[in-house]
Amino acid sequence: MRIFGFKLPNMTSLILWGLVWEILGRMEVSFFLPPLSSIFVTLADIYDSKAFVRALSETAVAFFGGLFYALVIGIPLGIFMGKNRFVDELFLPWVNMFMSAPLTALVPVLMVLFGFGLKSIIIVTTLFAIWIIILNTRAGVKQINRSLVDMANSFGANPIDAFIKIYFWAALPEIIGGIRIGFIRAVKGVIIGQLLISIVGFGSLFELYSSRFLMSHFWAIILVLFALAFTISELLAMLAKRFDYYASKRG
Amino acid sequence: MSDNVNAVSVKGIYKNYGDVEALRDMSLDFPKGQLTSLLGPSGCGKTTLLKIIAGLLQPNQGEVYVNGQIVSEPGPDRAFVFQDFALMPWASVLRNVAFGLELRKVAKSEREDIARKYIKEVGLDGFENSYPHELSGGMRQRVGLARALSVDSPVLLMDEPFSAVDEQTRRKFQEDLLQLVKEESKTFIFVTHSIEEAVYVSDQVAILLPRPSRVSEIIKPSSFKNKDVDSIRKDSEYLDTVEKIWKSLRSYVE
Amino acid sequence: MISRPLTLKLLSALLIFGSWEMASRAGINYAFPTFLESMGALWNLTISGQIFVAYAETLKPLVTGVLISTFIGVGIGVWVGLSEKFDWLVSPIFIIMQSAPLAALIPLVIMAYGIGITSKTFVVCIMAMPVIVLNTSGAVKNTPSSLIEMAKSYLSTEREVILKIIIPSASPVIFAGLRLGVSAGFIGAILAELKITPTGVGDIISYSRMTADYPSMYAAIFSIIVLAVLFLNVLERIEKSLFAGNDLGYVS
């Protein structure tokens, strides 16, 4: 949008929304909507509190743990599926199925199988993130320029060389795109896991704050979570852009 | 006065894109019933000029006259043929061709009759109910041409209409276009970057040069116009004209 | 002879369900019934009619939520795509919603709207809405400019450009957005039933977990996943046949 010929940057309307929030909060329109400023005050209070730091670190462990497994299993499996027709036909229906399945329904199973702890949440996170990573990697490998592979073979590359030096790099833009979406899904997964297995991380804080009706505490956590998710997803989007030149070269 | 001779005139057109000057003080006349080509290297503003005539772009300064009247927006007196065909993929050939009439609120049966006539005329008989993705590039452009003809505008604006079709189809198109100019009493304004094409199809060729954009010369090939389509390409004036234009343009090509 | 893809699908199903059966028989976990036991439980739930009652309950907030999100989401999306001002104003909210873990809002939704169907419908809506809005607005913005120029050069009004060019041209992507919205809606509906109050399929899952009737629990989960996947596949098929030529026809 432009005002007097000056282009307003994209996300600047959030400032306006923040103001609206503040005004509505001050007018005490709803008990559930405290003024934005009071939420920031609360956030300044709790950000170094023990409970908050513990929740954040527990969440971070579960999140990065889950993402780690999704990457180390997902990328090689995706490359395999892209290269080998048999493996592809064997796994693709299942990957597609889990991609669109409501994975939330599996959380109760994980709870009874792996207990009410970190392990289950890590698995939930992996389950949310892995399918798109597999699919994107596979798509990346599938579109690799055939002559690139022929080139490697003509110079006598062995399969492992080809795997690491050609397939991985040639499919990198798609892989990074997959990681980005996988990341967003992992954030959702880790929170859904914590909500349903509500004794760890932010899950327990949500329970605590909502049972005591501590609205600004509650919102403070939400703002932190949303801001973190958004920032990292934007950073990954910027990273993905840096690989755009790949796609243009493929023509 | 001059509007008896010229179907379209542009006078003193300036057009800037931000800081970039696309057209500077461009004036040009397009005689009635003739085909005028705008020929030049890419970046010389020929498509910009065409879209200004169409009323799709507004000039910063200057006027466009169609039959003596100043125009500033699209009107029923001009029909456009697009480089990328601009066909609606969700509509059949029949609806695509009749679309101009549909927008002019012509009743359905009437506009479909007219569309059928022009579909036949461009040689797409039997493809009325096909969809654009089922047609080849050349056939798609015939649909675009039929759409432009069916609104029966006195002026046809063609923006590199043959650049997206293969070479054989293109030659056939050029021959058909010559025929069309002879049969229909319409004024054609034709943008191209192919010298041979311009010389082959035009009554007059306006050569545009870039930076700043200007008309460098106007060539009116005449003697070979009455020959039949096959002998034109061997005609010595045709070959000389192509050679002459290439000489004046070559210094602008990196 | 059976075709190769079908053979492989059967083989792959056999492999997965077989390893489920084997793993369970090997007794790795007391809460891990065999595949056949679970299917038996599913059969029992089906003939007793229990599962149909449950789905009628589960689908209520899902269908309502998806319908509301469709109408509001497509409406907002078209508006965002057409108006630069509105785009500036509301797009950031949906972009953030898209990347944010919206599930975190559920405790708040419960506090505000209680534990009834309103809350559940609301959860479905906030999950489904962002992707619908963003897909719609993206599709509207990406309308090929030469189609719009074409319509203008043939004297169409603003209204006709929207109705005859922009909406038809955007509809495949809008439809794909709706499909993703339904997918997100499923997640929301189940999450609501597991987190807010156990009703419908969520009730079968929670109840059988408490009574340690694991085969029934697995059966219910199996059925909801299969239902969601089948439904989304049907939507995808419809999408493909509906818009067969749309993405092919435009390019020169």
Q: What does the domain layout of chain B look like in residue ranges? A: 2-77+153-252
Q: Do A192 and C16 touch (CB under 8 A)?
A: no
Residues 84-123 of C with CB under 8 A from B: none
ipTM for the whole complex = 0.85
pLDDT band (50, 70, 90) for residue B99:
very high
Q: Which residue do the tokens 């795509």 mark?
A: C81
Torsion-angle region of A138 (φ positive above 0: left; ψ -120 to 50: alpha; else: beta): alpha
Least confident of B46-50, B212-216, C48-52: B212-216
Number of H helices, E strands in chain C: 12, 0
B209 forms beta bridges with B214
Instruction: From chain C, pick out residues whose CB is under 8 angstroms from the CB of B153.
Output: none
What CATH number does the domain located at B2-77+153-252 have? 3.40.50.300
Token reading at B254: 């990196």
**How would DSSP label each residue in C180-228?**
HHHHHHHHHHHHHHHHT---HHHHHHHHHHHTT-HHHHHHHHHHHHHHH
Interface present between C and B (3 or more CB pairs within 8 Å): yes
Q: Closest residue of C to B55, CA-based?
A: C153
Nearest by CB: C105 against A107, A187, A222: A222
Nearest CA in chain C to A215: C108
pLDDT > 90? residue C10: no
Residues of chain B in contact with residue C160, where contact means CB-CB under 8 angstroms, are 103
- B91 SS3 class: coil
What architecture is domain C34-241?
A: Orthogonal Bundle (1.10)
What is the nearest CA distance from C237 to chain B, expressed in angstroms? 18
Q: Are A70 and A158 in contact, with CB atoms under 8 Å apart?
A: no
- C192/C185 Cα distance (integer angstroms): 10
The strand pair at B204-209 and B214-219 is best described as antiparallel
Nearest alpha carbon to residue C65 among C237, C152, C186 = C186
pLDDT tens-digit readout, B31-55? 888 899 998 887 778 888 999 999 9
Contact between chains at B56 and C149 (C-beta distance less than 8 A): yes
Are C8 and A94 inside 8 Å of each other by CB?
no
pLDDT at C245: 60
Lowest-confidence pick of B39-43, B74-78, C175-179, C223-227: B39-43
Its CATH architecture, for the domain A38-250, is: Orthogonal Bundle (1.10)
- The residue ranges of every structural domain in chain C are 34-241
Q: How far apart are CA A179 and CA A170, in angstroms?
A: 15
Phi, psi dihedrals of residue A215, rounded to the nearest 5°: -65, -45
| Alpha-carbon separation of residue C241 from B36, B50, C146, C167, C245 (angstroms) | 45, 39, 26, 18, 9
Region of residue B213 (phi > 0: left; psi between -120 and 50: alpha; otherwise: beta): beta
Task: Read off the tokens for A223.
Answer: 């703002």
Pick the residue with more confidence: C123 or A152?
C123
pLDDT average, residue stretch C167-179: 90
As a whole number of angstroms, the distance between CA A152 and CA B55 comes to 55
Burial degree of B82 (CB within 10 A; 0-12, 13-18, 19+): buried
pLDDT of res. B97 = 93
Angle between helices B137-150 and B93-103 (to 10 degrees): 30
Residues of C in contact with B79 (CB under 8 A): 153-154
Does A have 3 or more CB contacts under 8 Å with B? Answer: no
- The predicted-structure confidence for A46-66, as pLDDT tens digits, reads as follows 888 888 888 889 899 999 999
Of C87, C104, C228, which has the smallest distance from its Cβ to A206's Cβ?
C104
Task: Write out the DSSP string of C28-87.
Answer: S-TT---HHHHHHHHHHHHHTTHHHHHHHHHHHHHHHHHHHHHHHHHHHHHHHHH-HHHH
Contacts of B231 (CB under 8 A, 6+ apart): B224
DSSP state of A9: P
CB-nearest to A195 from C84, C100, C106 is C106
Q: How confident is the model at residue C248 (pLDDT cuts 50, 70, 90)?
A: very low
Instruction: Compute the distance between CA of residue A78 and CA of residue A81 in angstroms, rounded to an integer.
Output: 5
pLDDT at B2 over 50: no
User: Which residue in the set C146, C152, C155 is minimally distant from B104, CB to CB?
Assistant: C155
* Residue A146 one-letter amino acid: R
Pairing verdict, β B35-39 and B187-192 = parallel
Are B204 and B218 a contacting pair, CB within 8 Å? Answer: yes
User: What is the residue-averaged pLDDT of chain C?
Assistant: 87
Report H helices in chain B.
46-54, 93-103, 108-121, 137-150, 167-183, 195-201, 229-232, 236-249
Block residue for tokens 């999100």: C69
Contact between B103 and C151 using a beta-carbon 8 Å cutoff: yes
The whole-angstrom separation of Cα C67 and Cα C75 is 12
pLDDT for res C242: 80
Please give, rounded to a whole number of angstroms, the shortest distance from the CA of B89 to a CA of chain C. 5
Residues of B near C (Cβ–Cβ under 8 Å) read 51, 54-56, 74-76, 78-80, 82-91, 99-100, 102-104, 131-134, 137, 140, 147, 151, 157, 164
Question: Any chain B CB within 8 A of the CB of C150?
Answer: yes
- Rounded distance between C-alpha atoms, residue A140 and residue A168, angstroms: 9
Domain residues of chain A, as ranges? 38-250
- How far from C35 is each of C22, C39, C41, C195, C219, CA to CA, in Å? 9, 6, 10, 27, 9
